[in-house]
Structures are given as C-alpha cells and as structure tokens.
Structure 1
Amino acid sequence: MNSRRQLLFLVTSFTILSILTCSKLVLTYYSTGNATQTTLAKQYITIAQDMAAGLDKSAYERFLQTKQPDPSIIQYLEEYRSRIHALYVYTLLLDDTDVAKVMLSAVPTESELLPIGSPCTVPPKQVNQAKDGLEYYTGIIQDKTHGVYLSIGVPIVSESGKLLGVMAIDIDASQLESISQEVINSNKVVFTIDILFAVILLLAFFVLRKWHKTRLKQDLYESEQMYISEMGKVIDSIKSSRHDRMNHLQVLHGLLTLKKYDRATEYLKHLAADSRALDLSMKINNPVILILFQSKWELAQSKGIEMQFETDTDEYSKIESMDLVKIFSNLLDNAIEATEVYEGKLPRRIVVTSRSKGVKTVYTVENPAILHAKDQKNLFHTDGYTTKANPNAMRGNGLSIIAKTVHKYNGDIRFRYDNETVKIQITL
C-alpha cells in the first residue's frame, strides 16, 4: 500500500511539474513574441516620427484640399519605404467614423497602388488613439490581400498644431514567429536548468517527507514502548494489591473466627493507615499524568519509599501528555531505583514539584542517591549512560529520551548533586 502511495505521489508530482514547465514554455513563447513585436513597433514609430516631422506640411494640406496627388510627397514616402524595407508607407485621413481612409501611399512595385480614400485595416481602437493625437501600433494583422503585417502610426500635425492625419507604416510580420523561436532556442539552457531545479526541489521534498515520516514512526515507537512499559507496571501493581488484599482478608477472617474482635479492629486501623491511596485527583486535571503518578506512588510504597507531590492544578495540561509521560516515567523510575539502593542517612523520600515561572513551568524531581564523579559528569551528556550495573537497552536510554523530549519544546534541563541529594529540574 505504501509503495502504491509513493508511486502515485511521484507520478502526480511529475505530472504537475510537467504541466507547470510546459505552461512556462508557452508563456515564455508568447511573452517573447509580444516583446519582439513591441520592440519592432517602437523602432518603426521612431522612424515614422522622423517622417512626419520631415513631411512638407503645406504641400500635404494643399493635397487634402484638392485631393490631387503630389509627386514630391509620394517620392518622399517611397524613399523611406525602400530605405526601411517596409511593406507599405502611407498617410491616413481621420473622420467621424472608426475607419481611417488611405490617402497617399508608397507600395512595392509588384503591388497595386492603394486608391485614395480606400478603407484601412487598422483596428478601431488604434484609429481612436490616432484621433486623440497619440501614436499607436497594432498586433499582428492577418490579411488575405496584404499578408501578415504589423501596423504603426504617428500623428501628422501642422505648424499651427492642427491634426492633419496619420503617418503609417506596415511592417512584414512573417518573420516574427521565427524570431521568437530563435529566442526560445537560445534560452534552452536556462529552461533545462529550471527543469533540473524543479526536479531537485521535488526530490528534496520527497526525501524530507520520508525523513519526517521516519521521525514520526520513531516517536510513535518510543511512545508505544513507554505505554506498554507503564501499563505493565500498572498491571503488576494491581496484581500485587490484589494479593496483599487477599492476605489481609484471610488474617481478618481468622481473627473474626477466633472472636478476637479487638485485635481485628486494631488490625483494620493499621491496615487503613498503611494502605491510604494517594489523593491527587483534586490537584491534577490531566488523567494520564494522574494515573502515572498513582502507579509510581504505589511502586514506591511497595519498596518502602515515601513519595510526595507538590503541584498545582493545571501545570500538567500545557504539554502533550505522552511527552510528559516520557519525562516523568523515566525520572521517577530512576529516582525509585536510586532511592531503593541508597544506604545513607537521609530519609528514603522522593519529592516531585511543579511551579509556574511566567509562561513556563518548572518540574523538579528530588531524591537521595550516592553518585560518583563520573556519574555526575556523564548522566545527561552521554547517550545510553546509566549508573546501574546491569542496564538493559530501554532503561539505558531513559535519560536520552528525556533530553530529546525537552529539546522538542526548546526546554532546559538542570542537574544538581549536593549532600547525597540528586535534583533534576526541567523548564518547559
């Protein structure tokens, strides 16, 4: 199932990558074509402005009045047309319609002369620009008669500032597509690098995703191991309590059978004092931590160790329960084991406290122990280090699990050993 999902992920990712890459190629193709058209149009607009500036305005105004072609103006247009290799060079008349009329023109020798007053194929948008006294250029125009071309125009203004018409140039656009293709071909290396970069990003994402899943599996495995270990201890505690309860019931049954009621009453009093359950239900709202502390308290009681809790109500609700279990399960197991073998003069007591410190909480476990200098140095600084003579794998990694969990929350661990007392303080 996982292999199929990974294959589906790779196929989907490469499909999306291919679509994006093709989209970029298409976009580049059209943007290159538009950029080429714009560059070419602006180049010819400059030429048209020179033509309009050098035109004999008086002669052109006479032509507009008489409608009789002026050979000098036609020669002027032809000289420019030949020099700039344009398809057509001509002037336009603007009237109240959206259609401009051709007036004087210079055309190739193989083409027919454009009749005066014939409609022009310049689109209405550009015609209206010209009426406002603005220069214009069109997109590529496909015409059955005149072929594929690009048209530009600039206003012709008299000495008095009157708009006389438009100086227009039609440029052969059949080569623009090949120019765009040449630009794309020249950028193949760039496109290849872009594709490789995208593939590397995809592979990096895939690797990071696998690493993240591996980390999650490892954390889940550690949590499961911790859960199994703690559940086993709880079950053992229940079995031990059941066994003790049966023994006490048998003793009471014997005393009652012998009608030693005073002895039975006294035995019940001692039994009630010795078997008081740890009441943390009013102090801890987190049920997972409550059960953990209850089981550790019962374990400590069974070994003759006193365990005290000094805690506030909500201090165990700010961190994920399983992370708190990882921390306290290992801390309390180590404290119980160290206190069990302690042979000094201090009382066999473990104290667990939690105190608020601004937005953070300080958790402390304190117990008696005898540690050598080597133990003090390596306890929280060497992975798998333990003070026990015959450590197993799980217990040897207890302190490293605590350190890793605290690091997850950018917390702080402080270890202090003084006068045969170990104090471990964790700030989260």
Structure 2
Amino acid sequence: MQHPVKENPAYERLTSQLSQVREQFGVLYLYLLQINPDGSGGKVMVAAHPPDSGIQFQIGDPCYVNAEQIAKIRAGETYYSDIIRDPHYGVYMSAGAPLLGKDGRLAGIVGVDTDMAMVEGIGKDVVRNSVPVFVFHGLFVVVLIVLILGLSRWYQREIRVAVGETEEHYQDELRSVISSIRSIRHDFVNHMQVLYGLIECGYFDKARDYIQSLLKETKLLDLTVRIANPALMVLFHTKWEQAKSKQIVMQFAECPDPFEGIPSIDLVKIMSNLIDNAIDAAEMADGEKRIRIACRREDKQYVFEVENTGAEISPEQRAHIFTVGYTTKPATRSNARGAGLPIVQAVVSKHNGSIEIVSEHGMTRFTVILPAK
C-alpha cells in the first residue's frame, strides 16, 4: 500500500502466494482490498485469478463492497454475499475477512470469490430429481454417524491401551483424526449429491472431471490401510496435515508391521520429534520441500527413517545435536529448542538401539534402529 506498483517485490511475492492458495482451494478469485477513506467501497491492491480467465486486475481497480459489509469488517467480523451475476467476472459468491497489519490495525480486506455457475445451472434439475437420493443419503449419514461413534470409541480404547498413563497427552492427535473423518463424511455427502445431479442431467464429461479432482484428495485416507500400528497411524495423520499446511510434501512408505515389541509411547516419542525437526528443516528449504517416512522390520530389528530436504547438518553440529539445549534453529519465547533429539536418544538408548545420520546434497536422513523383541 505504501508503494502501489507492480514492479515491487512485495507485490510479486503476494501475487505468488495468493495464486498458490487460490489453486489449492479451487476458488475463482482471491484478492486483497483497500477500503476507500469514505467507506463507500474498496479497490483491488493484489489479486489472483485463473490463468485462462483473460482478466487482468490493475492496482486500484474498484471492487464493490457495500457499507454493511465494510461495517462488519471494521467490527472484526467476516461477511459473505448472495450469488452475484456479473457480465465481466461471471457468476460467483463473494466473502471477505479483515486484514490486519503488524500493529493490529485494520489494513484492508482479504476477499475470495467462489464460482457458482455450474451449481446454479444444475441446481433446479438436481432438486427435482433427487428426492429419492436425499432419502438414501439421509440413511447413509445416519449409518456414517453410527460408524464414526463406534470408530471414536475404538480409537479411544486403542490409544488407552497403546499409551497407558500418557493417554491425555496424545488425545489432541486423536481428536484431529476424528475431526478429519467428520469433515470427510460431510464432504462425501456433498460430493455424492453433485455427482448424482451431474449424471442425472447428462453432464457425463463434467462428472468424470469432478471424479478425477476427488482422486487427488484420497492420499490421506490411504494411511489407515498402510500403517498397522494405531498410535503411529494417528501421529502420521496429524503430521501430514501439519506438513500440508506448510506446502510440504510428506510421503509414507508402507508400514505393515505393528511393532509390538516396542511400547507405542516410545514409538511416538521417536517419530514425533524426528518428524517435527524434519518439518522445520523442510519449511526453510530453498527448493523442493519434501519429507519421506519409512518404518519396517528387517530380520531381528526395527528400522525407522525420516528424510527431509533442507539445510545440511555439519560434522561440527552432529557432535552436539544430542546435547540438551543445543539447537541449530532460533529459539522463541513460546517454544523452547534443543529438547527433541535428546528425547529420541534417551528412548533409543533405553532399547539398546542406535541412530545413524546422513546429511549431504541438500538431504538429511535420520535412521533409528531398534532390536525387535
């Protein structure tokens, strides 16, 4: 806002970030607005749009925001609109939230527009032909709720057995998974209704495209099949979500062994600390941000590997990284550093295991080897 020109590093960085988020969530437009001094509307400062839209936003382009919406923004609230039909920008719904500066003062609005053309086009046909489907989905939702309640109780019982007295500490991980399942259930019903409407109305090409887009979101569900140990499966779910929020690709090799020879609390201590360090390092990587996790049994030993891109660990640093309080990362008031790897080493020593570190060519890999009892 201080230098409103496109030849500005801040403008280029914000445009890139908005484009990434717009593509990730599949919205139509994503933009930052500055509110007019008289509160009569706003103007676009930075915007992201589909590459094939043919629309070019200019800094200062007017954007319709009414007085009621601006009042909500100034009160620290969000707003959303009815369906808007614009001959230039299309058919969409608009929403906005306050954008605050470092000093906590209102700097503008973060706005998002969602494409409603397809939904509006098939909505009437879907409603007219979907009464039996609504009944079916109502029953389906009831069954899903029963299954989720049963699954929730099963998770609680498994975690109670797996982590014993430390159950309370890891309940946050479990709640995150249950929340994820509930979200998937809700989205599944919506997806089924849209797919049914597309098929009933004969939009087979659009239905196929819609299914292909859904296939990209199935990687998280695959973890429940590939990870045999319940405690590790819960941990990997939450760490996958955390990495995803930081645009880090987290890959898991199949872990068919339940690792019954090692207490689940010790497995979680090892893997959670190694993965947290890997996320911190990958987030700071200049190029590819990737983490690979593998857990397996080899003859009479268990092998756990966490590999990440990012800055390498020098030989001098390796001599101290298992010392309590030593860290290669900056400390913050809310998060003490230098405690994770000493915890890992203590657990490994407890089981008479070993830790191997390979750090070269922009890749760091920690390998923990424990004897299989």
Larger radius of gyration: 1
Fold similarity call, TM over 0.5 = no
* Range of TM-score over shorter length: 0.3 to 0.5
